Amino acid sequence: VQLQASGGGLVQAGGSMTLSCAASGRSWYAMGWFRRAPGKEREFVAATSRGGASTYYANSVKGRFTISRDNAKNTVHLQMNNLQPEDTAVYYCAADTGPVNTDPGRYHHWGQGTQVTVSS
């Protein structure tokens, strides 16, 4: 499967942004979003199960970010509200045929990453 992420850019603190990830091939993937800030390890952001019934969020984004999916379009979205400078990072979408997981090591397919920069 190939994953194509889009929607990154520059936004002021308190603003909103939506990332999208389009997947080719089979549609029954658990999908997640991860991010890597400069000088930091890659970290989990949000994930959704294959049907979208289950969603998981990192504590740092809970209540501000929402993950959703459109299986008809093989697309997953990450709606990010009230963005803060600490959200600045390269965001990656990931997919796997296994159960939804917050561990990046469990995902076998990765998109190219999209930069999100939040100015203060």
Residues 82 and 98: their CA atoms lie apart, in Å, by 32
Query: What is the pLDDT at residue 28?
Result: 73
**In this structure, what are the phi and psi dihedrals at residue 85, rounded to the nearest 5 degrees?**
-55, -30
Q: What is the pLDDT of residues 18-77, one digit of tens each?
A: 999 999 876 678 999 999 999 999 999 999 998 889 999 999 999 999 999 998 888 999
Query: What is the pLDDT at residue 54?
Result: 94
Parallel, antiparallel or unpaired: strands 9-12 and 114-119? parallel
Query: What is the pLDDT at residue 81?
Result: 98
Query: What is the pLDDT at residue 1?
Result: 82
Q: What is the pLDDT of residues 96-114, one digit of tens each?
A: 988 899 999 999 999 999 9
Cα–Cα distances in angstroms (integers) from residue 79 to residues 13, 98, 105, in the given order: 15, 24, 24
